[in-house]
Amino acid sequence: MAQFSRRNLLGILIAGTAFPIMAACGSRQAEAKAFPLKLSDAEWKKRLTGEQYRILRQAGTERAHTSPLDKEKRAGTYLCAGCAHPLFSSRTKFESGTGWPSFYAPLKGGLGLSTDYKLGYPRTEVHCANCGGHLGHVFDDGPKPTGKRYCMNGVALQFRPG
């Protein structure tokens, strides 16, 4: 059995206490905010597929390279799959090589941001400004002019050509 110093044990206890608290408090701050579209859990389950519900309402992540929207090249608008709120223009889409649809800028009023601690460190979660649905995360490794990479779950989006 391993020997622990008081300092090591204290560090383990603090980390063990802090991580679940950070995860519980930070991972779905979007749900605590008021959004224009409010539906019950039962209504969301009726409206969405199982995978859309897991991503949009439970902050899941789809497997990389599984969404046809990652390879979508037509002009158009990307909408929230939960409520059809406009999120991104195809003009800001770029090939990130990550396996998820990526954009360097959202449409004005399309998104909300919150802090997610699910992996034990802070990340910026992206959600729909209308319904609060989880879309993905934003990172600071995108192209000019913004330097942002909005890495979105394709199942959380729908595409409207035009």
The per-residue pLDDT string of the chain (162 residues; one tens digit each, 9 = 90 and over) reads 445 444 444 444 444 444 443 444 444 444 456 899 999 999 999 999 999 999 999 999 999 999 999 999 999 999 999 999 999 999 999 999 999 999 999 999 999 999 999 899 999 999 999 999 999 999 999 999 999 999 999 999 999 999
Q: Taking the domain 6-161, which CATH number applies?
A: 2.170.150.20
- Indicate the SS3 state at residue 36: coil
Enumerate residues 6+ apart whose C-beta is below 8 A from 15. Answer: none
**Of residues 97, 83, 72, 91, the one with CA closest to residue 135:** 83
Neighbour-count burial for 65-84, b at 16+ CB within 10 Å, e otherwise: eebebbebeeeebbbbbbbe
Q: How far apart are CA 97 and CA 100, in angstroms?
A: 8
Residue 151: active-site member: yes
pTM above 0.85, yes or no: no
Instruction: Please state, as a whole number, how many other Cβ atoms lie within 10 Å of the Cβ of residue 93.
Output: 22
* 51 φ/ψ angles, rounded to the nearest 5 degrees: -70, -40
- Going from N- to C-terminal start, the domains of the chain cover 6-161
Lookup: tokens for 98: 């990550």
